[in-house]
């Protein structure tokens, strides 16, 4: 069985992140032909075009990790109705230097959790606009706005709510199919 390498971004730097917990749950319910590697964003400097001629080690590693991925998955909170700054900074690094956009034609999906009613909908809308400009091949359906009630996912990523578990399982199956669909039409180098 061939596998797809999925690089995943957690948009939160919090040590108690519910989105990190969600990422653990997503990996646990994923089809077996997806393999996951986190692409860390917490120690990147702030992007400046001054670095374009000579990227520092951290941002270079970021671009290498994306290049080694068949697809990327974003699991992110909503900050002030938009994308957390650390995640946007990582995307900006990966999108440059001009002509070397790491997301070009890369299969991608977006999901996020919040304790609030709208479950990161506006952050995801912002993120989708950014990924669209970056020419990522986004999964557009299903959308996944996860409102996390306390205890719905344990710290180990075990989903205690059965309907949520089924929803997340279906989401990851659809993501797997999306990756296959995109890469079957035209494989990346
Ligand atoms: C700076 C900041 C801005 C936030 N803005 C929003 C928001 O716009 N919408 C929302 O639903 N929750 C918002 N929250 C609450 C987060 O959803 C909540 O803290 C969540 O646990 C963050 O995800 P994490 O645990 O993965 O870090 C905000 C939290 C912070 C710290």
Q: What is the mean pLDDT of residues 154-180?
A: 95
Q: What is the mean pLDDT of residues 11-20?
A: 97
Phi, psi dihedral angles at 66 (to 5 degrees): -70, -40
- 185 band by pLDDT with thresholds 50, 70 and 90: confident
Say what the pLDDT of residue 178 is: 98
pLDDT tens readout for residues 116-127: 889 899 999 999
Q: Residue 22: is its pLDDT beyond 70?
A: yes
Facing residues of 110 across strands? 74
Q: What is the mean pLDDT of residues 27-32?
A: 98
- For residue 78 and ligand 1, the question of a CB distance below 6 A is answered with yes
Residue nearest atom 25 in ligand 1 by C-alpha distance: 17
Question: 25, 38, 114, 118: which to mutate for ligand 1, most atoms within 8 A of CB?
Answer: 114
In angstroms, the CA 144 to CA 129 distance is: 16
- For residue 85 and ligand 1, the question of a CB distance below 6 A is answered with no
Q: What is the mean pLDDT of residues 1-7?
A: 91
- For residue 82 and ligand 1, the question of a CB distance below 6 A is answered with no
- 37 band by pLDDT with thresholds 50, 70 and 90: very high
Q: What percent of the chain has pLDDT over 90?
A: 92
- For residue 18 and ligand 1, the question of a CB distance below 6 A is answered with yes
Residue nearest atom 30 in ligand 1 by C-alpha distance: 79
Q: Residue 57: is its pLDDT beyond 80?
A: yes
Say what the pLDDT of residue 160 is: 94
Residue 73 neighbours by CB under 8 Å, 6+ apart: 6, 7, 8, 9, 23, 26, 36, 108, 109, 110, 111, 175
Q: Determine the distance separating the centroid of ligand 1 and the alpha carbon of 75, expressed in angstroms.
A: 13
- 187 band by pLDDT with thresholds 50, 70 and 90: confident
Say what the pLDDT of residue 189 is: 65
pLDDT tens readout for residues 74-85: 999 999 999 999
Say what the pLDDT of residue 186 is: 81
Domain 4-185 has CATH 3.40.50.360: yes
- Tell me the domain boundaries of the chain: 4-185
pTM: 0.97
- The full 3-state SS of 31-80, as one line of letters, equals CCCEEEEECCCCCCCCCCHHHCCCCCHHHHHHHHHHHCCCEEEEECCCEC
Q: What is the mean pLDDT of residues 24-46?
A: 98
Nearest to 96, CA basis, from 155, 42, 54: 54
Please say whether the beta carbons of 172 and 34 come within 8 A: yes
Mean pLDDT of the chain: 96
Say what the pLDDT of residue 111 is: 98
- For residue 12 and ligand 1, the question of a CB distance below 6 A is answered with yes
């Amino acid at each position: 069985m061939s596998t797809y390498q999925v690089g995943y971004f957690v948009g939160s730097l919090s040590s108690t992140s519910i989105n990190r917990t969600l990422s653990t749950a997503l990996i646990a319910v994923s089809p077996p032909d997806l393999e996951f590697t986190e692409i860390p964003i917490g120690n990147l400097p702030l992007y400046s075009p001054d670095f374009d001629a000579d990227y520092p080690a951290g941002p270079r590693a970021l671009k290498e990790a994306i290049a080694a991925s068949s697809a990327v998955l974003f699991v992110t909170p909503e900050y002030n109705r938009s994308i957390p700054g650390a995640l946007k900074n990582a995307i900006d690094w990966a999108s440059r230097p001009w002509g070397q956009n790491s997301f070009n034609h890369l299969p991608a999906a977006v999901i996020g959790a919040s304790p609030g009613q709208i479950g990161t909908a506006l952050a995801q809308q912002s993120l989708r606009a950014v990924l669209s400009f970056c020419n990522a091949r986004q999964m557009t359906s299903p959308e996944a706005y996860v409102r996390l009630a306390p205890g719905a996912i344990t710290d180990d990523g075990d989903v205690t709510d059965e309907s949520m578990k089924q929803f997340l399982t279906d989401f990851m199956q659809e993501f797997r199919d999306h990756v296959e669909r995109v890469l079957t039409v035209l494989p990346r180098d």
